[in-house]
Structure 1
Amino acid sequence: MPYQKAGPDHLKDTSAMKTLATLGVMTLAALSLTACADDAASSDGGLTVNASDSSCKVSATKLKAGPSTFKVTNTGSKVTEFYVYAEGDRIMGEVENVGPGLSRNLVVDLPKGTYEGACKPGMVGDGIRQKLTVTGEAAKKLSDSEELKAAATSYERYVNSQTVALIAKTEEFVAAVKDGDVEEAKRLFPIARTYWERIEPVAEKFGDLDPLTDGREPDAKAEGRDFTGWHRIEKQLWVEGDTKGMNPYADDLLANVKKIVALGKDAPLTALELAQGSKALLDEVATGKITGEEDIFSHTDLWDFKANIQGSEAAIASLRPVLEKQDPALVKELDTKFDALNTELDQYQDENGDWTFYDKLTRDQVKRLSDLVASVSEPISRVAAVVAKSA
């Protein structure tokens, strides 16, 4: 099918911001999660998570209120991830795409309450869960820092600007689908998703809403649910070349987008979540989009690439005063590596603001992008620790 080019609307916000890169489609059996120790862990770190294909061992399940660092080590053969959930599966923190033999740190600021830690071998299903109890009061909450409050407020303004455009463009996209206007729906698909991709760390806080809205077909099948959201409609547009049967999916997409926006306003990201989100956006590019699996039917992946990078840059921009005070060398390194990544990526955008279809890139071009994303991911992984120390 011919593809009508997207206009320049998606480029209006140049300040810049998905994080769910799913590499496995294996289902999880119900497995037990055991804790190595129940002594209350200090809030300044020192927690370990040993994640295998069949178990997940947290070094303590009784924690003190305040920032805690979980060092997640994958001793299994499947890519895994670790989440800390509050009531209703609201995500307090997550670390994804932990490959076999690798370790990743997750810093989470937890107030007094009851939570669940969850490992997800294969990155599917509800995970292997363990109750975590947080007691006491933090000596000083991260959110009490005026600098971190300012960072969170700055980012909240950015999110608000993006959500206004997200709802408007999603409404246009849904209208085109319901009108049966295939070419207009194709044109709007990557534009509307740009705003979504910039701010998806907001969506990922709210349990199933993100996969229902932006999940991929193999993941839906592995989890035994209907294939819905952006990519269900994408498949119909590019594979079938029509919009037959898409009205309910289009209505659900718009309803879920509006629900996520409303929930995000009620529970904006903290500065620490912002730091984690900036890393997650780059991980999404490095481990998911780089394979071409995100927009597998339309090949509009580079629209998403740029949006993820913009979103990550927006998060870092909000945190910049804190980072410059605590670690100016890190800021300089991030600036240099973001510049190199953007220079490489922007050569695939034409004068009208349209991007090269991803299936047109050569293997060497993809590798170059992958290497540059990985280059930025390393220093950005240090941001959360800097934020945690700045209270």
Structure 2
Amino acid sequence: MSRRTSAGIVCAGIAAVALAGCTSTAPAQNTGGAAAGGPISVKATDTACEVGATEAPAGHITFSVNNAGSKVTEFYLYGVGDRIMGEVENIGPGITRQLIVEVPDGGSYVTACKPGMVGDGIRAPFTVTGSTQRSTDANAKLAEATAGYKRYVTSQIETLVVKTQEFVTAVKAGKVDEAKALFPVSRTYWERIEPVAESFGDIDPKVDGRDDGEPGVPFTGYHRIEKDLWLDGLKPDTNQMADNLLADMKDLQSRVATVEITPVQLANGAKELLDEVATGKITGEEDRYSHTDLWDFKANVEGSQAAVAALRPVLDEKNKDLGPQLDQRFAAVEKLLEGYRAGDGFKPYTALTDDDKKKMTEAVDALAEPISQVAGVVSA
């Protein structure tokens, strides 16, 4: 979701020992100009996804995605088993956004544009040639950043499983009021690490899908149970929905135990969490029955802040002005959110005025601008 200047990648500006680790061993040939040092252009329309190169050398790869269509779109690079290597979402008509992805291993990958942000997308094969040392192998600060964030994610998922169990137990016991109170608490831990969860493409739709989601995708997970609790009443299959939710969280926990997170993924994730706020929570469409959106809003901001904090030593070394700017703008968003506290939680989203929502939009947008610079700084 961010930017970089080179796809062929020689990491100028860091020590000579790290240079060896940042230079791809891939051959120089490349179709579409990726090897020439610029971003790979992607022209996305409502019916096509024209990627300017079919291959690139291993290392940091940058895509510049222009939406020339009429629908909001997304762009993805997938690995084996539809593992999301990188994504950029919510690209409006006429907008160009960049995606930086660290791909150290050569092999077969897939690009995809998703007009309307639905379905499997318009896909095409993409080859990464050669191999390169991982940035975390060449830079001790990057290694510690990813290791520290992995510890954070692990701790969040451990609590997520516990809180989901509590929520599921209340649902299955028919304790509606207790389940309603536990719903936003459980979701807090999910929302903090959602980019990691989303990287496993099959888990997120099951856990966090909406009832007006993609055609043919069953409506399950949090929001199905939310609808039962707040709108329709508990149904014969609600208990099964609850059991499935807990099983999916345990599945996520087992997968994250072995997942590798790159520094660029960490930086992109910080931006993705703010996009979650700006495009979903701010409209009130996500928790549309419980109106607990501000809990999710807070969790997304906290998750973004945790990602930035992990990368902070690298940011301070490479761009001493960016960190303090991020501190200031995170503080502004936090202060605004604290104004909507109610007890241990938050006011229902329906209590906010249009002016309240406008202020939040402005604060999040102000934070998103410096956040969008993080991936470029980290990968430079």
**Shared fold, TM over 0.5:** yes
* Contact 1:44–1:66 (8 Å) recurs in 2: no
Counterpart check, 1:361 vs 2:355: no
**Residues 244, 181 of structure 1: alpha-carbon distance in 2 compared, 3 angstrom cutoff:** farther
Matched AA of 2:254: A
Query: Do 1:182 and 1:243's aligned partners in 2 also have CA atoms closer than 8 Å?
Result: no
CA RMSD of the aligned region, Å?
1.3
* Aligned equivalent of 1:104: 97
Q: Given that residues 62 and 98 in structure 2 are in contact (C-alpha distance below 8 angstroms), is that contact kept between their aligned partners in structure 1?
A: yes
Give 1:288 shift: 1.0
Q: Distance in 1 between matches of 2:235 and 2:179?
A: 9
Contact 2:56 2:129 in 1 (8 A): yes
Counterpart position of 1:47:
40
Distance 2:170 2:210 in 1: 22
* Runs of 4+ off more than 4 Å: none
Aligned 8 A contact 2:71 2:93 in 1:
yes
C-alpha displacement of 1:254: 0.6
Where 1:186 maps in the other structure, the secondary structure is: helix
The one-letter code sitting in structure 1 at the alignment partner of 2:96 is S
- How far the C-alpha of 1:40 sits from its partner, in A, is 6.8
SS in structure 2 of the partner of residue 293 of structure 1: coil
Letter in 1 for 2:375: A
CA contact (8 A) 1:69 1:107 kept: yes
Measured in 2, the distance between the counterparts of 1:329 and 1:120 equals 36
- Who is 1:173 aligned against? 167
Whether 1:264 aligns to 2:253 is no
Residue of 196, 199, 205 corresponding to 2:193: 199
**Which amino acid in the other structure matches residue 170 of structure 2?**
A
TM-score normalised per structure 1: 0.87
- 1:194 is aligned with what amino acid? T
CA distance in 2, matches of 1:234, 1:45: 46
Distance 1:305 1:283 in 2: 11
| Cα distance change, pair 81–206 in 1 and its aligned pair in 2 (3 A) | same
1:276 — aligned with what? 268
Q: Distance in 2 between matches of 1:364 and 1:40?
A: 47
- The alignment covers a number of residue pairs equal to 349
Give the 3 Å change call, closer, same or farther, for CA 320–44 of structure 1 in structure 2.
farther
CA positional deviation for 1:44: 5.1
Partner AA of 1:86 in structure 2: G
AA aligned opposite 1:223: P
Task: State how far apart, in whole Å, the 2-side matches of 1:87 and 1:239 are.
Answer: 40
Choose the corresponding residue for 2:323, options 305, 316, 331. 331
Query: How far apart are residue 137 of structure 1 and its match?
Result: 2.2
The residue that corresponds to 1:186 in the other structure is 180
CA contact (8 A) 1:74 1:99 kept: yes
Which of 157, 160, 174 is the equivalent residue of 1:163?
A: 157
Tell me the secondary structure at the aligned position of residue 93 of structure 1: strand
Correspondence list, 1:1-391, <5 A: 38=31, 41-42=34-35, 45-110=38-103, 111-138=105-132, 140-144=133-137, 145-219=139-213, 222-242=214-234, 244-350=236-342, 352-389=343-380
- Compute the displacement of 1:243 (Å): 5.0
1:22 aligned partner: none
Distance in 2 (CA, whole Å) between partners of 1:329 and 1:223 is 46
Do the aligned residues in 1 keep the contact of 2:64 with 2:99 (CA within 8 Å)?
yes
TM-score of the aligned structures, taking structure 2 as reference length: 0.89
Compared CA separation, residues 43 and 172, structure 1 to 2 (3 A): farther
User: Any idea what SS the aligned residue of 2:142 has?
Assistant: helix
Q: 1 or 2 for the larger relative contact order (CA 8 Å, sep ≥6)?
A: 1
Q: Residues 80 and 98 of structure 1 are in contact (CA less than 8 Å); yes or no, is this contact kept in structure 2?
A: yes
CA distance in 2: counterparts of 1:244 and 1:341, whole angstroms: 42
